[in-house]
Chains A and B, each alone.
Chain A
C-alpha cells in the first residue's frame, strides 16, 4: 500500500465523516442544561428491586446522574422512612461498568468454568431470531416440554412459558419460602404470612427468624418498634444471630429440633388451657384432633427437652408467657428453621401456624395478616390476537420431578413453582424426556445448591439463554446473553405483597443506560422469533386495564375501534381485533401519559387506605379460602392427599458422627443479596470473604485459631472448602456457620472474579428426586430442600 499524507488529506477534504453521526447525536431538544447551584435538579420515583420489601425510593439526580437515593415518604408500608445499605448499593450496580449492555452471543462452543465464551454483541433482532429458531427446532423435534425455563413464577415469565406450553418452569422457591408458602396455603388458604404486625405484638417468639438483620425494612422497624413498645422477644436459634442478640432471651437450641419445642408449646397451651378459646372456637377447625394428637404422641416439654436440649421448664415457662400475653405471635420468614432447611421444616411451619392460631394471632392486630393486594388482571387476557388461547400443557411430567407432589401442583393452580434442589438430578439421571433448550432469567448458578451438578446439567442443553444485569456465572454457560433492565432503568409498577396492610401499587420511572430491555418486550420478541406472535402479550393494553383498576381512565380512540359490541348482560366491550402498528403506538402514547399522571398525583405510590381500619390495620377477615372456610389446625388438604394432617415429630436427616461431628449452618450478611451485589467494591470491602464461625472450644479441639484457614467438608458431598476461621461464643459448640453470598467465579466481573471466599452451596448435598419422594411421602408435600440438613468435618488447612 502506498501511503502518504496527501491520500488522507484528500479524503478528509471530501468530508465524509466530519459531521455528527445521527446514530450518536441529534439536535438538542432542550436548552443547554444550565448547571444550577442546587445539589439536585431532578427527582424520580422507584421502588427497590433488591429484596422483596420493595421499599419506595426517590432517586435524586444532578445533570442526568443519580447522586443519591432516599426513602420515598409516601411508602409508609415498606420503606417506612429509610432504605437499607443494599438499596443504596443498587446505584453502584446501576453504574457498574461490568453491566450487561447489549445482547451477546458466544462464539466459543465449549462451555465451562474458566472458558472464555468469546462474546460478540448482536442486535435484539438477531437475538430474537436465533433464540426463536433454536427453540422452535427443538420443540418441533421433542415437544414443548423440551424447553426449560428458569425464572421466578411471575406473570411476564409465565406468559412465555404458557404460550410455549412447557411444564418446566423452575424457580428457587423450594430453597426459599416454599415450605412456609404451601403450609400456610393449606392452613389459611393464602400464601405464607407476608404481613406481620410486629410493632403491635407484645410477645414474639421465633425459630431462627433473623430478617431484621437482613434489613428487610418493615421487619427491622417492626421488630424495633415492638421492643420499644415493651414486647418480650424470645429467640430459638443455634447461633446468636444479630436479631437474637437484640432479644430478651436467646435459647441456643439444637439444630433441626425446633419442631419438638413448638409441639411442646402447643401441648402446654392446650393442657393448661392458655389458648384463646373464643378465637379458636370461632375461627378454627380441628382443635379436638390437635389436642388429642399432641396428647397421644406425648409431646410434653420433658419429651422435647431430650430432643432439643432446651430445658423443659423453659419451654413450659415460655409457652405460658406466650399464652398469657396478648397479642403474641411466632414471627417467621423464608430461611428460618421452618424454611427450606431441615427434613422436618414443613411440620415445623405447620406447628408455627398453629401456635399463632391458638393465641388468636391471625388476622388480628399484633399478628399475621394476609396481603391486601389490589387485583390486577393477568397477562393471559391480553394476547395480541384476542382469539388466541394458551395451549393446554399435555405433558404433566416435570424434569425437576415437582409434578410428583400433587398438593404442590394443586395449590399452585397447575403451575408448580419448581425445584432448584432436584433440577440437576432430573436433568442428568433419566429425564422423563429430552430437555434440549433453556432460558434463565435473573438467577446465577450460585443461587442453586450444589453448583457442580447444575453446571453439568446446564451443559447438556443444546442451546441456552441467560438474561441478567451483570455477567454472572449463569451467563458464562449461555449461548446468548440478554441484558435485562436494572430496576432503576425500568418503567414498571408492582403491587406490594410484603406488609400490604392496604392495597398499594408502586411505580418506577427509569430509563435504560444501554440497550437493555425488560422481560415484557423480551417475552414478545422471543415469541415472535418462534412464530408465536399471536401469543405475544399486548402489555400496553394490560397496563391500561390495570390503570383503570386504580381509577385512571386511559383515553384512546384508536383502541376503542378495536372493541366489539357491548355484552348484553354486563355491558362490557371486549377487544375483538388484533391491533395494527398505529393502534399499538397510539395506545402506548396514551398509556404513557396516564402512567406519568399516576406517578405525579400519587408521588410514586398509589394506595387505597380506605381498605384499612382506622388504626391502619386491615379490616380482619373471618372467612378463609380453605375447604372449611376456617383456619385449619387439622389440614383437610394434607389429609386428602395422604399426608399427615397434623404436625408430627420427625427428626432431621443428618446427625453428627465421629467423622463429621458438626452441624452446618449458613447466614446472610446484612448487605449481601443473593450474589446480586457481589460486584460492588464498596460492599466487598466490608467483608471480602466468608468465615467459618465456631465456638472457641471447638476451635481449640480442631486446633485452629482466628484467621487460620480450615478445611470444611460435608458428609456425602465430597467437596472440601477452605474457609477462614472466626471464633465466637455466640454459637453452640457443636455447630459452625458460614456466610452465603461468596465464592463468585464469573470472569465477567472485574471485582468479584477472584478471592471472594467460598460458596456455601458446595456443601449442600445433591438431592435425588426418587430418594426425596420416598422419604417425604408422608409429611412434606414439597420435598424439602433440606439445605442445612448436613454435617461437616473440619480440619486445619
Chain B
C-alpha cells in the first residue's frame, strides 16, 4: 500500500469506530462493504462471514435496517460506552498505558499534543476524549492524506503516533474487542486495525533501522 492507500485504510476504519448511524449503513451499502473486503484482502485478514452477513441483512431491504442498526449500536454501546456487565473495551489509550485504568491520562495529553503539532484539535461535537480510537485512527488518516505535508512533518508525526503510541495500546484493546464482540463486524474491524497497526509498526521500525 502506498501512503494514500494507508491513509484511506485508516480513514475507513476510523469511520466505523464512530457510533453506528444510518450513514454507516448507507456507506456500507454504497460500496463500503467492498472496500472493507478489499482491505481484508490487502491485509490478509480472513473476513469470515462478517461482511457476508452484513450484506445479507442490507439486502433484506429498508424495513430490516433499523433492526440491523440497533444490533450494531447495541454491540458498540456495550463494547465502548457502558454495558452490563461492564464495558468490554474502553477505547482510550490511557486505560491501557497509564497504569491506573483511568481516562485522560498522560498518554491522552501526549496524543492531544500531537494533534496540535499537526494543526488540529478535537472538535466540540466529538464529545469524547482525545485518545479515543476513532480519533487516533482518523488522525493517522489525516497525516497520511498528503495535505500540509510538504516538509515531511506529518509523516514524522505519523511515525511517532504509530510506534510510540498506537502500537502500544491498540493490541490489548483490540484483543478485548475481538474476544468480546457479539457482532462479527466489530471483531473484524478490530482484526483489521490490529493487523494494520502491527504491519505499520514493523515497516516503520524497519525503515528507522535502515536510516
Chain A interfacial positions (CB closer than 8 Å to B): 1, 3-13, 15-33, 35, 62-66, 92, 95-102, 104, 107, 115-121, 471, 476, 481, 512-515, 681, 747-750, 753
Top 3 nearest A-B pairs (CB, nearest first) are: A8-B38, A12-B8, A63-B109
Q: Is A28 in contact with B121, judged by CB distance below 8 angstroms?
A: yes
Q: Cβ of B211 < 8 Å from any Cβ of A?
A: no
Q: Is B142 in contact with A19, judged by CB distance below 8 angstroms?
A: yes
Can you list 10 A-B contacts with CB-CB less than 8 angstroms, sorted by A residue number?
A8-B34, A11-B35, A19-B141, A24-B18, A25-B115, A25-B122, A119-B74, A121-B19, A121-B76, A748-B82
Task: Tell me which of B98-106, B162-170, B183-191, B195-203 binds A.
Answer: B98-106
Q: Is B129 in contact with A513, judged by CB distance below 8 angstroms?
A: yes
Q: Cβ of B150 < 8 Å from any Cβ of A?
A: no
| Closest chain B CB from A28 CB (angstroms) | 4
| Cα–Cα, bound, A5→B102 (Å) | 39
| Cα–Cα, bound, A19→B137 (Å) | 11
Within 8 Å CB of A15, what residues of B? 4, 7-8, 145
Evaluate whether A5 and B83 lie within 8 angstroms (CB atoms) in the complex, with A25-B115, A120-B73, A513-B103 already known: no
| Cα–Cα, bound, A513→B119 (Å) | 21
Q: Is B112 in contact with A11, judged by CB distance below 8 angstroms?
A: no
Within 8 Å CB of A512, what residues of B? 127
| Cα–Cα, bound, A63→B131 (Å) | 13
Within 8 Å CB of B47, what residues of A? 3
| Closest chain A CB from B200 CB (angstroms) | 15
Within 8 Å CB of B78, what residues of A? 119
Within 8 Å CB of B145, what residues of A? 15, 18-20
| Cα–Cα, bound, A6→B70 (Å) | 32
Evaluate whether A25 and B113 lie within 8 angstroms (CB atoms) in the complex, with A17-B14, A18-B7, A513-B104 already known: no
Q: Is A3 in contact with B37, judged by CB distance below 8 angstroms?
A: yes
| Closest chain A CB from B60 CB (angstroms) | 16
Q: Is A95 in contact with B102, judged by CB distance below 8 angstroms?
A: yes
Closest to B3 in A: A18
Q: Is A98 in contact with B82, judged by CB distance below 8 angstroms?
A: yes
Within 8 Å CB of A66, what residues of B? 104
| Closest chain B CB from A455 CB (angstroms) | 16
Q: Is B109 in contact with A120, judged by CB distance below 8 angstroms?
A: no
Q: Cβ of B81 < 8 Å from any Cβ of A?
A: yes
| Cα–Cα, bound, A9→B5 (Å) | 6
| Closest chain B CB from A484 CB (angstroms) | 13
| Closest chain A CB from B73 CB (angstroms) | 4
Q: Mark B124-168, 1 if CB is under 8 A from A, else 0.
A: 011111100011001101101101000000000000000000000
Task: Other than A100-B82, A121-B81, give 7 A-B pairs with Cβ distance below 8 A.
Answer: A1-B51, A12-B4, A63-B113, A107-B70, A119-B84, A476-B84, A753-B85
Q: Cβ of B12 < 8 Å from any Cβ of A?
A: yes
Q: Which interface class (under 10, 10 to 19, 20 to 34, 35 or more) fits B?
A: 35 or more
Q: Cβ of B39 < 8 Å from any Cβ of A?
A: yes
Q: Is A17 in contact with B77, judged by CB distance below 8 angstroms?
A: no
| Cα–Cα, bound, A118→B78 (Å) | 8
Q: Is B38 in contact with A23, judged by CB distance below 8 angstroms?
A: no
Q: Is B70 in contact with A1, judged by CB distance below 8 angstroms?
A: no
Q: Is A28 in contact with B115, judged by CB distance below 8 angstroms?
A: yes
Interface residues of B in 15-69 (CB under 8 A from A): 15, 18-19, 31, 33-42, 47, 51-52, 55
Count chain A CB atoms within 10 A of each CB in B10, B33, B37, B84 and give the residue with the most.
Answer: B84
Closest to B38 in A: A8
| Cα–Cα, bound, A25→B132 (Å) | 12
Within 8 Å CB of A101, what residues of B? 81-82, 127-128
Q: Is A3 in contact with B41, judged by CB distance below 8 angstroms?
A: yes
Q: Is A753 in contact with B86, judged by CB distance below 8 angstroms?
A: yes
Q: Is B34 in contact with A65, judged by CB distance below 8 angstroms?
A: no
| Cα–Cα, bound, A32→B120 (Å) | 9
| Cα–Cα, bound, A99→B87 (Å) | 10
Within 8 Å CB of B14, what residues of A? 17, 21, 24
Within 8 Å CB of A6, what residues of B? 38
Evaluate whether A5 and B77 lie within 8 angstroms (CB atoms) in the complex, with A35-B113, A107-B70, A121-B19 already known: no
Evaluate whether A116 and B102 lie within 8 angstroms (CB atoms) in the complex, with A23-B123, A63-B112 already known: no
Evaluate whether A8 and B41 lie within 8 angstroms (CB atoms) in the complex, with A17-B8, A25-B138 already known: yes
Within 8 Å CB of A7, what residues of B? 34-35, 37-38, 41
Within 8 Å CB of B41, what residues of A? 3-5, 7-8
Within 8 Å CB of A92, what residues of B? 102
Q: Is A24 in contact with B8, judged by CB distance below 8 angstroms?
A: no
| Cα–Cα, bound, A96→B113 (Å) | 22
Q: Is B127 in contact with A25, judged by CB distance below 8 angstroms?
A: no
Q: Is A95 in contact with B35, judged by CB distance below 8 angstroms?
A: no
Closest to A749 in B: B86
| Cα–Cα, bound, A476→B84 (Å) | 9
| Cα–Cα, bound, A21→B103 (Å) | 22
Q: Is B112 in contact with A33, judged by CB distance below 8 angstroms?
A: yes
Evaluate whether A1 and B90 lie within 8 angstroms (CB atoms) in the complex, with A32-B116, A107-B70 already known: no
Q: Cβ of B178 < 8 Å from any Cβ of A?
A: no
| Cα–Cα, bound, A328→B102 (Å) | 48
| Closest chain B CB from A478 CB (angstroms) | 12
Count chain B CB atoms within 10 A of each CB in A5, A31, A99, A107 and give the residue with the most.
Answer: A5
Closest to B47 in A: A3
Within 8 Å CB of A21, what residues of B? 14-15, 18, 138
Evaluate whether A5 and B38 lie within 8 angstroms (CB atoms) in the complex, with A28-B116, A120-B73, A471-B82 already known: yes
